[in-house]
A and B are shown apart, each in its own frame.
Chain A
Amino acid sequence: MTGNSFRKALLSQDGLSGLMFMAAAGGFAYLAQDLSLGTALRMGAGYFPLVLSGLLALIGLAILLRALASEAIAPSAIAWRGLLLVVASVLVFGLGLGRLGLGPCVGIATILSAMASGQVGWRAAIALAAGLVLFTWAVFILGLGLPIPMLGSWLS
């Protein structure tokens, strides 16, 4: 196997999956070191996770080896724009719902994610945001009475 095709196989869908599983196994095993192991009779907190990590590492290795021996299918390109904007709008909620409140969060998140497709104009995004702010207020605060402030501690 030449260096180039080895690299290709390593960076193929299956090669990267194998590496991902092995990395996850390593991470869990590393963290499980601090846990009590116990005995087979009385298993501690670390026993089962360590067994699972071992199994996962083995299977990950098998996936990796198989990937090196077969035709490489590279993963398709990552859609960065969509990924970043959608995740950012979720983060707005995670970090801001208490501080900014429901209204601003829905507004900001809607505009951010509406931009993700690159096919929605500014005006449409703002209109959609206004509509959703109204709708979520009516459903979640007026209707279901969720204990979320409409305007958060930073704004009121």
Chain B
Amino acid sequence: MDLFSNLALGLSTSLSVTNLFYCFIGALFGTLIGVLPGLGPVATIAMLLPITFGLEPVSALIMLAGIYYGAQYGGSTTAILINLPGESTSVVTAIDGYQMARKGRAGTALATAALGSFFAGTVTTLFIALFAPPLANLALQFGPPEYFALMVLGLIASITLASGSLLKALAMIILGLLLGLVGRDVYTTEARFTFGLENLSDGLQFVALAMGIYGIGEIVRNLENPEQRSVGVAKVGSLMLSREDFRRIAAPVLRGTGLGSLLGILPGGGALLSSFASYAVEKKFAKNPKEFGQGAIEGVAGPESANNAGAQSSFIPMLTLGIPSNPVMALMVGALIVHGITPGPAFINEKPDLFWGLIASMWVGNLMLVILNLPLIGIWVRLLTVPYNYLFPAIVVFSAIGVFSVNNAGADVLVMAGMGVFGYLLYKLNCEPAPLLLGFILGPMLEENLRRSMLLFRGDATQFLTRPLTASLLAIAVVSLLVVLLPGMSRKREVVFKE
């Protein structure tokens, strides 16, 4: 059976001492930043990206992935213990998790979160192994027009599933696409939007852009709200689950895993949407919905499984199509490109050790997190007492050095400073930056595929609508946009996100 030999290859790659080490480092760093509020996975990955440039591509990818799912774990720990979600994906966990902690069941809640996440991680690893290769094979037959249509659909879908104003998100995508075009045009070698600056002829540096908007912009934003972190930490108590607990979490974990794996694939989906959706579902299924908000164990088990499953399955479109579905995946694409690898449908066949090694490492990393995190909870909690006022100067310093070291260029650091101001402006104007980042990554690819398509079509754009596959992809994009723009729907959408 192919699947098993592939997984065996993956395991042998990911279990090498070096990769095990980087997996561990990634998971550890991920948990660390998950615990610390005010420092998200995007900023951390951007900050650590330069360090990975010296590594083998597979080690680099394994470490970056570890940061991503490690952050999900860490975020839930603080959500449960002090009602302070370290990551946005743990916001719903805090609702019932903290109530459980207040009733002296913090240990049970933490164990539930860990076991649910581990189960979801295991299932999703298999899910990726099963579905990624056929999807990639399908995508191998795509020509430029299909790719163009797919990217348009991906970009549109990513904003219909996100919260906030749709028009603004659409504008942010286009602005991102335009920023992505800065630099020398590969076809005509004309310098575009560079103001004659040599430093910009290779384009805006991606790490500088991401770090500026997510790192620097976020720090300034956090400084607006003076610190208020003198919270009582709940006693952890027993980590054991009773038989009754196991009976109650079984179904939510299964549902959460299923929901998360599916929603994670969708562009713009991923961990955040999955956890919210799962909480809503569990509330509907519950025999006693009144218990939700009062410490229902289902309200921890479901969302925690779902966010982990969603975090992992969001790797599928990135690995098989080369299309990132959220900012973290955009950073992964950026990392791969630096290593000279362009993710896409050929990736699985050309770099099987890389692909399967990454998949297997997710399972290994999840196992590591369960073993590590439960005993280490005490240390994580103590970390929370580090004041943000002392933390953020260090973040500023590290990100500046990191951005500089990518090309040894001070100009990139200046770009980061500018993007920091821009990111803060976006926050002031209530514009969500994620679509901009996706647009930025996809800009050059979108243009190239459009140009090739038009050559193929001999300049006749209507052929996008006469080819069945491109036509249906574009039709789905238009319909999903219209559906969300309809007044009735947009109101409903707001309600969903408010819950």
Contact = CB atoms under 8 A, between A and B. Distances in A.
Contact of A79 (B190, B223, B396): B223
A148 B227 contact: no
A87 to B, nearest CB: 5
B54 A48 contact: no
B276 interface: no
Interface in A25-74: 28, 31-32, 35-36, 38-46, 48-49, 52-53, 55-56, 59-60, 62-63, 66, 73
- Most chain A CB within a 10 A radius of its CB, from B190, B401, B450, B455: B401
B414 A43 contact: no
Interface in A1-47: 13-14, 16-17, 20-21, 24, 28, 31-32, 35-36, 38-46
B390 A93 contact: no
Contacts of A28: 178, 193
A148 to B, nearest CB: 7
Given A21-B171, A41-B458, A119-B227, A78 B428 contact: yes
A106 to B, nearest CB: 5
Contact of A20 (B170, B398, B429): B429
B400 interface: yes
B193 A31 contact: yes
Contacts of B336: none
Contact of A75 (B168, B170, B421, B428): B428
Contact of A89 (B170, B175, B396): B396
Interface in B190-221: 190, 192-193, 216, 219-220
A146 interface: yes
Contacts of A39: 459
Contact of B178 (A41, A49, A140): A49
B404 A40 contact: no
A109 B167 contact: no
B167 A93 contact: no
Contacts of B185: 35, 45
Main secondary structure of the interface of A (DSSP, over half): helix
A60 B220 contact: no
Interface size grouping (class) on chain B: 35 or more
Contacts of A90: 216, 396, 400, 413, 416-417, 420
A151 interface: no
B167 A41 contact: no
B5 interface: no
B450 A13 contact: no
Contacts of B51: 144
B139 interface: no
B192 A35 contact: yes
Contacts of B188: 35-36, 38, 44-45
Interface in A78-112: 78-79, 81-83, 86-87, 89-91, 93-98, 102, 105-106, 109-110
Given A52-B174, A56-B175, A95-B410, A110 B451 contact: no
B233 to A, nearest CB: 22
B396 A43 contact: no
Contacts of B181: 48-49, 52
Contact of A63 (B54, B167, B458): B167
B454 A136 contact: no
B96 to A, nearest CB: 31
A150 interface: no
A109 B397 contact: yes
B489 to A, nearest CB: 16
Given A89-B397, A136-B398, 19 more contacts: A14-B429, A16-B429, A28-B193, A41-B454, A43-B451, A49-B193, A59-B167, A86-B220, A87-B216, A90-B416, A93-B400, A97-B410, A113-B392, A113-B393, A114-B393, A116-B220, A119-B389, A132-B394, A148-B401
5 nearest CB pairs, A to B: A41-B459, A94-B413, A82-B223, A93-B400, A45-B185
10 contacts: A13-B429, A13-B430, A40-B461, A66-B167, A90-B216, A90-B416, A93-B410, A98-B410, A109-B393, A128-B393
